[in-house]
Structure 1
Amino acid sequence: MSRIEQQPIPATGPALTPAAPQQGSKIMNQQKLLKFASEYSIILIFLALFVVLSFTVQYFFSWRNMIGLALSVSQIGMVACTMMFCLASRDFDLSVGSTIAFAGVLCAMIINRTGSISLGIGVSLLAGAAIGLFNGATIAKFRINALITTLVTMGAVRGLAFIASDGQAVGISNEAFFNIGNNDLFGMPIPIWFCVACFVIFGVMLNKTVYGRNTLAIGGNPDAARLAGVNVDRTRIYIFLIQGVVAALAGVILASRITSGQPNSGQGFELDVIAACVLGGVSLAGGRASISGVIVGVLIMGMVQNAMNLQNIDAFYQYLVRAGILYFAVLIDQLKNRGQA
């Protein structure tokens, strides 16, 4: 009886490889890359723009221009910190430009009449707080839309600035007041230090306090936040009150820089601030904000403006560029919201 020996079946093709795990790993790497690009895209744009402008625009990278750039965006940066909270809670404030003008005029008038710089600053900050309190209470308690409320306040407060000053610039008699906006501290202008302080303070408030967490919760879902025990109305009032105080402080500093209270100052300021915030990743739909993104957004707006000034581009064209930046920022925000839906 013959023995049938089983022979190994020869391989008919190349050795098999674990293709599925490799393909899954590739997809995961692509997803990580897309997530990284989404999260840090604005920083990459900022760095690329900075490098391009440094090599193509004369004097852009000079130390003197860097200081001038930081000084030019210092007031926008201050107000953007508080506008970040407004946008993150699904609201916004169109009255900040008018508040800046009114605070500057009011501060100049009180200093001229009393000779007291501290009294002028204090009353101006209280006026800003009153404007913010009115906005917040109207929106939170009477459920009136933020667009309508702050649009009304924008016109009314601008009107008060013109009425109080008779439509003229109010010169300031006490020259010591000019030190706030024009002196240096540790080699940098004082307004820059105010802006840096706002970035630090409001960055900590956003990321490390209950106030910041409640703001993001309200923006994410106001009803869910209310059910979770968040006092939504009170938080909204605080957001607008702080917004008014910081806008008034920016107005006082601006008045010190230009040595007078100007009733027509701050026009279009609110759009620059909102554009900087949205460009920095603060969602118009609420619930998403980061202080690092706001800083980068403010710097991008400032760099573009600074480069156009260095190139002597006509102011009318600058309006078009700023409008394009705002459109670009809102478009990116909408695309991000759709991607998360």
Structure 2
Amino acid sequence: MQVRENLASAAAKPSVDALVPQQNERQKWWQHLTEYSLIAIFAVMFVTMSLTVDHFFSIDNMLGLALSISQIGMVACTMMFCLASRDFDLSIGSTVAFSGVLCAMVLNATDNTFVAIVAAVAAGAAIGFVNGAVIAYLRINALITTLATMEIVRGLGFIVSKGQAVGVSSDTFIALGGLTLFGVSLPIWVTLLCFIAFGVLLNQTVYGRNTLAIGGNPEASRLAGINVERTRVYIFLIQGAVTALAGVILASRITSGQPNAAQGFELNVISACVLGGVSLMGGRATISGVVIGVLIMGTVENVMNLLNIDAFYQYLVRGAILLAAVLLDQLKNRGVRD
């Protein structure tokens, strides 16, 4: 009798793969249409800028463009998992700044680049862990939680640095930001590795399937045996660690840790992800879409700088892109439902 009950219970329990949102032919067609449309928009924009903006298509500018989007690209990979699980993280800009400041301070105190980097990444992971634990176990909304940690972490950065940039003089650390391999800067290679690693993580691992399942239906995922709370903590912990690494790279490039760095960074990252097809409703994400979204954001920023557009107007453009990304996400969700 007990065996029969166990078999019945196992049969009633949904599989993880079954919880990942599935699409019929019409929904797949709509998804492919929006993805190809995004690629077409980027291609048209890129060709237009190449023909109309001086020096845009030069090798130096292309390398500069790739370098400028490297931090956004790295963090967008982990933000993809946050959004896919129906969460998001507004504290990443503050984490970038704080990790850069902490890395610079530890480096000046120990003169050990490895120790400084480990300390900064560990601090970022700790920030992510706190975010994840509060959201997952205390059931506090991600907006409130990460908004609070955004202010707390930014404030800590100003307190420990006394509101001043913390300069570094270590040649080894400074060289990290300018190191090149085959003519390509190290931050670009790190970003490419992140795209590959997190693409595999999303598509080929249980962790990725669990993330999409949680975003599709958290309660059903819990019934299927997924440890929803632990998975969410892992998502934010990894988010914090990668964000801190981006902060370390930024500090190396500008030879200092600055407590006011990366303001508005979180909006750029979220915009890139949503532009790339990561649903704000959770359950849907592709690494290829995130790459395209990052490229679009980076290209727009690059062109505005080449055209010497005033920084105040750049805020308007970034806000318009974020609004357009959200509207596009809503249209996708309606198309999938219909």
Same fold flag (TM > 0.5): yes
Residue equivalent to 2:82? 86
The superposition leaves residues 273-317 of structure 1 with CA deviations (integer Å, 9 ceiling, x where unpaired) of 000000000000000000000000000000011011111111111
Highest CA radius of gyration, 1 or 2?
1
Which residue of the other structure, out of 295, 299, 302, is the alignment partner of 1:299? 295
Which residue of the other structure, out of 305, 318, 324, is the alignment partner of 1:328? 324
How far is the alpha carbon of 1:32 from its aligned partner? 8.9
Matches within 5 A, 1:91-102: 91-102=87-98
Amino acid at match of 1:298: V
TM-score between the two structures when normalised by the length of structure 2: 0.90
Matches within 5 A, 1:179-258: 179-258=175-254
* 138-147 or 309-318, which deviates more: 309-318
1:67 aligned onto 2:66: no
1:44 aligned onto 2:40: yes
Residue equivalent to 1:19? none
Root-mean-square deviation (Å): 1.5
- Report the count of equivalent residues: 313
Residue equivalent to 1:133? 129
The superposition leaves residues 201-248 of structure 1 with CA deviations (integer Å, 9 ceiling, x where unpaired) of 000000000000000000000011111111100000000000000000
- Partners of 1:92 and 1:35 lie apart in 2 by 22
2:31/2:332 contact within 8 Å kept: no
1:111/1:173 contact within 8 Å kept: no
How far is the alpha carbon of 1:66 from its aligned partner? 0.3
- Partners of 1:299 and 1:288 lie apart in 2 by 20
Residue equivalent to 2:19? none
- 1:35–1:163: structure 2 CA closer, same or farther, 3 Å change rule? closer
- 1:95–1:168: structure 2 CA closer, same or farther, 3 Å change rule? same
How far is the alpha carbon of 1:36 from its aligned partner? 4.1
- Partners of 2:33 and 2:219 lie apart in 1 by 32
SS of 2:221 mapped into structure 1: helix
* 233-242 or 167-176, which deviates more: 167-176
TM-score between the two structures when normalised by the length of structure 1: 0.90
- 1:111–1:161: structure 2 CA closer, same or farther, 3 Å change rule? same
Percent of matched pairs sharing the same residue: 69
SS of 2:88 mapped into structure 1: coil
SS of 1:286 mapped into structure 2: coil
How far is the alpha carbon of 1:150 from its aligned partner? 0.3
- Partners of 1:130 and 1:59 lie apart in 2 by 43
- Partners of 1:32 and 1:89 lie apart in 2 by 21
2:165/2:259 contact within 8 Å kept: yes
- Partners of 1:32 and 1:316 lie apart in 2 by 40
- 1:214–1:273: structure 2 CA closer, same or farther, 3 Å change rule? same
2:63/2:184 contact within 8 Å kept: yes
- Partners of 1:247 and 1:31 lie apart in 2 by 34
- 1:130–1:30: structure 2 CA closer, same or farther, 3 Å change rule? closer
- 1:126–1:116: structure 2 CA closer, same or farther, 3 Å change rule? same
SS of 1:58 mapped into structure 2: coil
- Partners of 2:158 and 2:118 lie apart in 1 by 21
Residue equivalent to 1:165? 161
- 1:223–1:322: structure 2 CA closer, same or farther, 3 Å change rule? same
Structure 2: gaps (5+ residues): 1-24
Amino acid at match of 1:123: A
How far is the alpha carbon of 1:173 from its aligned partner? 2.4
- 1:32–1:266: structure 2 CA closer, same or farther, 3 Å change rule? closer
Amino acid at match of 2:228: V
- Partners of 2:43 and 2:115 lie apart in 1 by 43
- 1:54–1:129: structure 2 CA closer, same or farther, 3 Å change rule? same
How far is the alpha carbon of 1:338 from its aligned partner? 1.4
- Partners of 1:213 and 1:31 lie apart in 2 by 20
